[in-house]
Amino acid sequence: MFLMFQSAPAPSGAFGNWVTADKSVVDMYQCGEHICGKLVKFTAPVTVTTDNRNPKPELRQRPLCGLMIAEGFRMTDATHITEGHVYDPESGKTYSGVITVEGDALKLRGYVGIPLFGRTEVWHRLKEPVAGCGK
């Protein structure tokens, strides 16, 4: 008699710390049923440490350190993640997003409407520990 067990999905290659195009670091992690990303280190020299370009005035004083910039993403397979939103603290805008992981490269495509009308940014996996925001 054979028993069949359903195995858990393989962990996403997207989890961990990623260096962005501007040399900041984003931690991608499991948050409930979704995949999220928060800013854990930003590029020096930093003159502004709050979310001062947020379109909501009540959020402009929240710190950039620990700021959730990616949320609501769903893993479709080990290398493709969809249905999320990406917040850009430099512009204060939020975009729809899709993620593709290729080895130690994470390709994040932010867009308005459909992915065709977007821009892709490539992040690189950071293998060493992060000292923390702004350090």
Pairing of strands 80-88, 68-77: antiparallel
Read off φ and ψ for residue 72, nearest 5 degrees: 80, 10
pTM: 0.84
Rg (CA), the chain: 16
Q: Please report, for the domain that includes residue 20, its CATH number.
A: 2.40.128.520
Residues ≥6 apart with Cβ < 8 Å to 60: 50, 51, 52, 53, 54
CA distance readout (Å), 95 to 23, 84, 105: 20, 9, 20
**Domain annotation covers residue 131:** no
Encode the chain (135 residues) as per-residue pLDDT tens digits. Answer: 333 333 334 445 899 999 999 889 999 999 999 999 999 998 766 678 899 999 999 999 999 999 999 999 999 998 999 999 999 998 999 999 999 999 999 999 999 988 888 999 999 999 887 777 754
Domain enclosing residue 32, as ranges: 16-125
Domains in the chain, number = 1
